[in-house]
Amino acid sequence: MDDMLDEAAYDRLRLGRWLAGVSRRDLLKLTAAVSAGLAGAAEATGAAEAAPGPIVKALPPELFTVLGTNAEMRWSAMAGQGDLVPIDRFFVRNHTSTPIIDAANWQLRIFGAGLRHGPVEFDYQQLRRLPSETVTATVECAGNGRSYFTTQQGQTVSGTAWRLGGVGVARWRGVRLSTVLRRAGLARTAVDVLPAGLDPNYVTGGVDLGPVRRPLPVRKALRDVLLAYEMNGEPLPADHGHPVRLVVPGWIGISSIKWLGSIEVSDVPLFSPWNTQFYRLFGPGRPAEGEPFDRQVIKSAFELDPGAQLPADQPLRLRGRSWSAAGAIRHVEVSTDGGRHWRRARRVGGEGAAWQRWELDWRPAAGAHELLARATDVHGNTQPDVAAYNTLGYLFDAVVRHPVVAA
Ligand SMILES: Nc1nc2c(c(=O)[nH]1)N[C@H]1C(S)=C(S)[C@@H](COP(=O)(O)O)O[C@H]1N2
Ligand SMILES: [Mo]
């Protein structure tokens, strides 16, 4: 809770600077200049060779739904799985395409006015020799569930039409960002860090926005951010950021920059299109410059595809998962009749997992049914009936109506 207030307060400060100092046109110019600088840095660290398609790994239709340059996990693929999402079904969100980067030629460049000395470089071997840490953490796209703004709430939103499969939990091993920043000579005046990817620049509407990058306050960077080089015990796969990515627990997926090439450390608040144009909440009743957000919300999913066929007049066990970036899930209620009656689901698995698995026994009559699951976390956050509208369709937290057919 405290952290959340700190983040909001910090963003007000950040925004104040923006509104006071720079007009929107200046900001765009600034963004372009920064992009050009970073593009140069990316070239210097070398490496990015194009992969044949936007995604390298196999995308069998029983595990994924392909959405442009992205691949959404099918929730039926989580049936029978433990807490972790295996790499073969972990969702992929690419702004452009997966670059093939050779760890042996890779370097991470850390630079900026927030360092006490000049730029510092780390190669892969140097990073691997630093003290390592292993954490289980969720990566979830801020737009996960976006399609339900349209199908459930009748609203127009732009962006990838994810259902609920833009989320995954993995065991990440790597070096704490704090370890690397301290070795790089972090100054006390540092305020933001700006990690940038080595994937091709993101071009939209004819404008080259430069490499994918989004600033993080130093406070968060030092708290629990990991530079990950392993995922579920394997070297980080190409699609998930090989050789090194950021993992930013609790924050929206865009924070967890893949194919990390550079980190600027600044003594002034930083901006990129990914915290000004995108990944802000725009729309009716919101300020013109949008509302900032960094955290994920609370959601639930059944381990079933929408429209799944179930056997009628037989006892069966419904399974699903709920997760909240704010903390552990306290309880989950499930309805099998479109929201008229609710029953408490049974928890499965231990305490403290990244998501809460649950199950409920049910004997469906023949015909169409609508399943709903509503989670509440230990802070009392609960899933609403309607998610707060925003034009870019972020943070869909409402209860999803999941159709099934029993026959
Ligand atoms: N360099 C880079 N990092 C990136 C992205 C990207 O396109 N390029 N996509 C971001 C977004 S929007 C999300 S949701 C997560 C997805 O991580 P995954 O593809 O490993 O599931 O990566 C983030 N990191
Ligand atoms: Mo995302």
40 occurs within a structural domain: yes
Same domain? For 110 and 59 the reply is yes
Same domain? For 141 and 181 the reply is yes
Same domain? For 214 and 104 the reply is yes
Q: The domain spanning residue 252 has which CATH number? A: 3.90.420.10
Best probe residue, ligand 1, of 254, 274, 278, 392 (max atoms within 8 Å of C-beta): 254
1 occurs within a structural domain: no
Cα 181 off chain centre by: 23
Best probe residue, ligand 1, of 258, 278, 394, 395 (max atoms within 8 Å of C-beta): 258
Same domain? For 287 and 342 the reply is no
The predicted structure's pLDDT at residue 379: 97
**3-class DSSP state for residue 64?**
strand
Q: H-type helices in 260-321, by residue range?
A: 273-276
| Number of alpha carbons in the 13 Å side-chain half-sphere of residue 75 | 24
* Cα–Cα distance for residue pair 227/223, rounded to 1 Å: 13
195 occurs within a structural domain: yes
The predicted structure's pLDDT at residue 276: 96
For the CA of 144, the closest atom of ligand 1 is 14
Cis peptide before 243 (omega within 30 of 0): yes
* Cα–Cα distance for residue pair 174/258, rounded to 1 Å: 13
Q: The domain spanning residue 392 has which CATH number? A: 2.60.40.650
**Pick from 270, 292, 314: which residue ends a domain?**
292
Name the domain count of the chain: 2
Ligand 1 pocket residue status of 274, Cβ below 6 Å = no
**Pick from 242, 272, 292: which residue ends a domain?**
292
* Cα–Cα distance for residue pair 128/100, rounded to 1 Å: 20
Same domain? For 284 and 320 the reply is no
Surrounding residues of ion ligand 2, Cβ less than 5 A: 93, 141, 253-254
Which two three-digit tokens encode residue 281?
């909440």
Same domain? For 366 and 285 the reply is no
For the CA of 241, the closest atom of ligand 1 is 20
Range of the domain at 78: 7-292
Closest C-alpha to ligand 1, atom 12:
254
Ligand 1 pocket residue status of 259, Cβ below 6 Å = yes
Ligand 1 pocket residue status of 72, Cβ below 6 Å = no
Closest C-alpha to ligand 1, atom 21:
92
2 occurs within a structural domain: no
Same domain? For 277 and 345 the reply is no
Shortest-distance ligand to the CA of residue 228: 1
C-alpha of residue 406 to centroid of ligand 2, in Å: 34
**Pick from 292, 308, 328: which residue ends a domain?**
292
Same domain? For 362 and 213 the reply is no
For the CA of 90, the closest atom of ligand 1 is 21
pTM of the model: 0.91
The predicted structure's pLDDT at residue 41: 37
Per-residue pLDDT of the chain (407 residues; tens, 9 = 90+): 344 445 556 666 666 655 554 444 444 444 444 443 343 333 334 345 555 679 999 999 999 999 999 999 999 999 999 999 999 999 999 999 999 999 999 999 999 999 999 899 999 999 999 999 999 999 999 999 999 999 999 999 999 999 999 999 999 999 999 999 999 999 999 999 999 999 999 999 999 999 999 999 999 999 999 999 999 999 999 999 999 999 999 999 999 999 999 999 999 999 999 999 999 999 999 999 999 999 999 999 999 999 999 999 999 999 999 999 999 999 999 999 999 999 999 999 977 899 999 999 999 999 999 999 999 999 999 999 999 999 999 999 999 999 999 99
Return the closest-CA partner of residue 27 out of 233, 276, 219.
276
Which two three-digit tokens encode residue 86?
């295996």
C-alpha of residue 118 to centroid of ligand 2, in Å: 32
Same domain? For 130 and 198 the reply is yes
Ligand 1 pocket residue status of 94, Cβ below 6 Å = yes
Same domain? For 251 and 275 the reply is yes
252: number of Cβ within 10 Å: 24
159 occurs within a structural domain: yes
Same domain? For 194 and 98 the reply is yes
Q: How far is CA 114 from CA 34, 221, 268, 355, in A?
A: 16, 13, 8, 36
For the CA of 240, the closest atom of ligand 1 is 20
The predicted structure's pLDDT at residue 32: 44
Ligand 1 pocket residue status of 139, Cβ below 6 Å = yes
Same domain? For 368 and 270 the reply is no
The predicted structure's pLDDT at residue 26: 46
Ligand 1 pocket residue status of 141, Cβ below 6 Å = yes
